Amino acid sequence: MKTKSVFSSKYALITGATSGIGKSIAIELAKENCNLVIASRNFDSMKALKDMLEDKYNVSVDCITIDLSVAKSSKIIFDFCKSNNIQISILVNNSGFALATKNEFTQLDKLERMIILQTVTVTDLCSQFISSMKKNKFGYILNVSSITAITPAASTLTYSAVKKYILTYSRLLHAEVYKDGVKVCCLLPGATDTSFDKNSNLPVPKKLKRYYVSPDYVAIKAISALKRGATTVTPGFQAKFLYFIGVIFPSGLIYRLHKFFWVNKRDSYLK
Ligand SMILES: NC(=O)c1ccc[n+]([C@@H]2O[C@H](COP(=O)([O-])OP(=O)(O)OC[C@H]3O[C@@H](n4cnc5c(N)ncnc54)[C@H](OP(=O)(O)O)[C@@H]3O)[C@@H](O)[C@H]2O)c1
């Protein structure tokens, strides 16, 4: 007989569940009988996911149409949950996009929105929902960073920096709240086969695609790590290898290698 999941009948909030990794996480949690609140900009995609999950897994799914790259937008989600008596026990901060380095110094509005989405909103959502998790001595937070937080990518600049923020913040938060029964895990995916590159208008190194892992694989590994209380999770060989490089070499050397291989020779790597 299948054992009951720790997430069964609880509520999870997932940002950016309309595609890619967030959608796969939503499906994984629904399979464990977890109810969902999903929040992002595209209502039609959220509605399609809601209908599918409610029909197939008999869970309840609420949708909030919101642009989380606007400061204080997270308060709207918190107020929605409060007024509908929804107690969030699992928080998945997944929404994200990148800005290609070539656009870094010209698309300032987009740059600012990218920073807000992946620093201010992530932090606000954790802060808002953590009090009730601590009170109940039960809570799970999965913050989606990137392996570029450890070893910077050829095609991005500030994106790697904001993902580093998410990693540092998650590790510190983990240390702060684990004694209160709240588990914080940071997901560091490597290249994953989603619409991310297209949505972010990101040039990709030609040979990278052969190392792509599927978003379903990333979601399964992430949920499993979250449940067992891991601090970080790096799904797949590519992410594990880059994490290993980042751990064994001093950061000064990592940035020198980044400058030599990625920045100075960028045009030969990117399509
Ligand atoms: N794919 C990779 O290779 C890779 C590698 C490392 C890390 N990651 C990280 O994984 C996470 C998920 O990315 P993905 O690969 O699944 O890409 P994706 O398919 O493009 O999904 C991104 C999700 O973020 C949401 N989103 C984007 N901007 C938003 C905004 N302003 N407000 C609210 N939601 C927003 C999108 O929903 P709407 O469009 O409906 O708003 C979408 O559901 C991101 O944080 C990304 O940085 C991805």
CATH number at residue 24: 3.40.50.720
Are 195 and 19 in contact, with CB atoms under 8 Å apart? Answer: yes
Q: In this structure, is residue 75 part of a structural domain?
A: yes
Residue 134 lies in a domain: yes
Ligand 1 atom 17: the closest Cα is on which residue?
196
Residue with CA at minimum distance from ligand 1 atom 15: 196
Q: Is 49 inside any structural domain?
A: yes
Pocket test for ligand 1, best of 21, 144, 148, 200 (most atoms within 8 A of CB): 21
Question: Does any domain span residue 179?
Answer: yes
Residue 5 lies in a domain: no
Does any ligand 1 atom lie closer than 6 A to the CB of residue 96?
A: yes
Ligand 1 centroid distance, CA of 165 (Å):
17
Within a domain: 6: no
In a domain, 4, yes or no: no
Domain range for 200? 11-269
pLDDT tens across the length of the chain (271 residues): 668 999 999 999 999 999 999 999 999 999 999 999 999 999 999 999 999 999 999 999 999 999 999 999 999 999 999 999 999 999 999 999 999 999 999 999 999 999 999 999 999 999 999 999 999 999 999 999 999 999 998 889 999 999 999 999 999 999 999 999 999 999 999 999 999 999 999 888 777 788 899 999 999 999 999 999 999 999 999 999 999 999 999 999 999 999 998 898 888 877 5
d(CA 9, CA 92): 17
pTM of the model: 0.97
For 219-237, b/e burial (b = at least 16 CB within 10 A) is: bbbbbebbbeebebbbbbe
Number of domains forming the structure of the chain: 1
Is 3 contained in some domain?
Answer: no
